[in-house]
Structure 1
Amino acid sequence: MFPAFRFREAGSVLMTPMSDVTPADLPRDLGFTMPAEWAEHAATWMSWPADDDLWFGHLEGVRAEFAELVRTIARFEPVHLLVRDEESSADARARLGRANVTFHDVPLDDVWMRDNGPIFVKRDADLALVDWKFNSWGGKFNWSNDDRVPEYVAGQLGTHRWAQPFVLEGGGLEVNGRGVGLTTRSCFLTDTRNPGLTEEGYAFLLADTLGVRKLLWLDGGLENDHTDGHIDTITRFTDERTIVTSVEPNPEDPNHAVMAKNLADLRAMTDQDGQPFRIVELPLPANYLEGAEGRLPPTYANFYIGNGFVVVPQYGDPNDARALEVLTPLFPGREVIGLSSRAIIEGGGSFHCVTQQQPAGTPWMQDA
């Protein structure tokens, strides 16, 4: 495995944590980049929910919704499912039946594979992964087991792993596959993740590791989002030049001003070729949802794109159908499927948060 990452901040070169890193050690210099989510998948990685306390007494409903989500994805592509103990394994197997699922016995703290799982990178047909530090959104929950998942995945696939000393969650970054990335200041710039790392520093970091040549910043996310405002809860690429973003029409709602500012900022941004993006407005759920720790952050932007399908969370809300109407024409050739996420949202996230795509490709290992 390569030692670590050559990081440049404000024109200087920092070696972290080892001083013998060469340019060839970087994913960027070896030609690896992060594909867009709509690129062909080999599989989807997920984790099975456990621990009723984590779900505030909603575990049974969460598992029912997870089973429907896993079965739906497995109709289109293989699913790799991590299970933390014998009870979880037995429960998942009983609910999923003959679905196209491979089970992995792995100690887990929680299920948010988007954030604690690996981020895959590709070079032509070669597939490798980047392993970021995970600290449960700034130390909010237990994470020691979840932080080991990328190493496990790399071992299972027999693929190269770049282990990074920086904290980064997959839900905090959107890419269009052409070198443009989207994130939020409210998440990336918290002092509980990478203290002192600036916008310029992140731009260098993501260019070197994921091939993001143009990093665009929005201010913030949804109220009471424990991720501090992940981009995947509000604003998503649906193709290289189209961005769908959440809006809240009620000026009395705390989300209104932040979403309006994000919308205005997006309309002023340009893509990798300097052209304006096509911006599509996506409603937030109309109803206020209260959970065990206050307002919940339900959103339709937390959809997941796979081989021939898109799964969109639904909440039994008046805006459920409207969200599907907005999203369906943005994904020609894919079946846009609405599934219930009313129980899953009790944990603070939805479908994109609990999935991690493995792009199609051949596992690659660095020559000894």
Structure 2
Amino acid sequence: MKTEVKTPKAFGYRFPAEFEPHLATWLSWPHKEASWPGKIDSIFPAYAEFIQLLTEGEEVHINVGNQTMENFALKHLEQAKADMDQVFFHQFSTNDAWCRDHGPAFLVNEQAEHRKALVKWNYNAWGGKYPPFDLDNEIPYHIARYRNIPTFSPGIIMEGGSIEVNGKGTLMTTEACLLNPNRNPHLSKSEIEFYLQEYYGVENILWLKDGIVGDDTDGHIDDLTRFVNADTVVTVVEDDSSDENYEELKENVELLEKMTLETGKSLNIVELPMPKAIIFEDMRLPASYANFYIANTSVIVPTFRDRNDDKALSILQSCFPDRKVVGVDSWDLIWGLGSFHCLSQQEPV
């Protein structure tokens, strides 16, 4: 491994936690019907409501393929009463909508000449599952040119939904995703840790094992366990011992209880319920309240017309006393196998 290459960490950059202040949220407008077969028209009201909530506290930058798509988006956002002074369209073409994974990782260093930089990871649509993905793979370069900020390109596959940070030096991920041979088969676990440390600017790597059933990303952390502050995580649990998720989620809690932060301190662990299984066309969908997005003024949580919706919102409100926690119906959106966190990428101030 060529350690002489200057990495973001060597330049003093770090990847801020999502709960730190944002300048903006980046999105890629949904347009791929194959991601929501037979349902794509039904997702736009919830998606537009998500954007309306974002505009209450930060800019929203939306990648659209052409003027027709921009006009279509504009119609939905005006109907949702989004603050259009906060919305910026960019005609950067995409294959799909999952900006968490194909978007850049924005870095900050208060002392650097360029206060902000980004990491352009390679993207292969979760192990080559959904080609083509060539347009998505270029999105970080478009954004870097637009923002005129330096770009680091480590040359390996990585997705934003596969990692979670506390902003102080700890990063959490899953073995099921990052050690999957469909990502970086040439890299060992210790080599992957090197890239995580050097390109996200962290020291402490925490490994969980598997994600939730139905997750086509091979176990992204953002459906599972999330930092809500520097020393506290929320993690999903399943009460029904007959459910497919029960054992894996129980094991994840046991692993979290043994983990320590970069300070050596144990994690504070808050348990979040799971909704009942959502089956559509004989397929278990990855419905999880952990796929919330932390915006400047709100926390936007997917809800599933489930008896646990209110309980999940109440637990998350207790974790974010200075933000309003808002549930937005994700019943149709989850047919795309992701929700609000998967669709969004934060840009720090």
Which of 254, 274, 277 is the aligned partner of 2:244? 254
Which of 57, 63, 72 is the aligned partner of 2:44? 63
Cα distance in 2 for partners of 1:225, 1:184 equals 13
Structure 2 length normalisation: TM-score? 0.95
How many angstroms does 1:71 deviate by?
A: 1.0
How many angstroms does 1:54 deviate by?
A: 2.6
How many angstroms does 1:22 deviate by?
A: 3.5
Give the letter for the 1:289 counterpart: I
Structure 2: runs of 5 or more not aligned: none
Matches of residues 228-243 of structure 1 in structure 2 within 5 Å? 228-243=218-233
Structure 1: runs of 5 or more not aligned: 1-13, 16-20, 361-368
More helix by share: 2
Structure 1 length normalisation: TM-score? 0.90
Cα distance in 1 for partners of 2:68, 2:275 equals 34
How many angstroms does 1:196 deviate by?
A: 3.4
**Native 8 Å contact 1:314 1:338 kept in 2:** yes
How many angstroms does 1:292 deviate by?
A: 4.2
1:226 partner SS = coil
Matched, 1:76 2:57: yes
**Native 8 Å contact 2:32 2:95 kept in 1:** no
**Native 8 Å contact 1:203 1:212 kept in 2:** no
The residue aligned with 2:292 is 303
**Native 8 Å contact 1:133 1:147 kept in 2:** yes
Cα distance in 1 for partners of 2:176, 2:167 equals 24
More strand by share: 1
1:192 partner SS = coil
Matched, 1:136 2:117: no
Matches of residues 1-368 of structure 1 in structure 2 within 5 Å? 14-15=1-2, 22-23=4-5, 25-97=6-78, 98-99=83-84, 100-124=86-110, 126-142=115-131, 143-286=133-276, 288-292=277-281, 294-360=283-349
How many angstroms does 1:51 deviate by?
A: 3.1
How many angstroms does 1:86 deviate by?
A: 3.5
**Native 8 Å contact 2:118 2:152 kept in 1:** yes
**Native 8 Å contact 1:203 1:214 kept in 2:** no
1:353 partner SS = helix
Aligned residues with identical type, % of pairs: 39
The CA deviation string for residues 106-148 of structure 1, in whole angstroms up to 9 with x for no partner, is 2111000000000011101611000000000000002111000
The CA deviation string for residues 327-354 of structure 1, in whole angstroms up to 9 with x for no partner, is 1011121111111111110000011000
How many angstroms does 1:247 deviate by?
A: 0.3
Cα distance in 2 for partners of 1:359, 1:277 equals 25
Cα RMSD of the aligned pairs, angstroms, is 1.2
Cα distance in 1 for partners of 2:188, 2:220 equals 17
The residue aligned with 1:5 is none
Cα distance in 2 for partners of 1:183, 1:81 equals 27
Cα distance in 2 for partners of 1:111, 1:96 equals 16
Cα distance in 1 for partners of 2:15, 2:121 equals 14
Cα distance in 1 for partners of 2:326, 2:293 equals 10
Cα distance in 1 for partners of 2:44, 2:12 equals 40
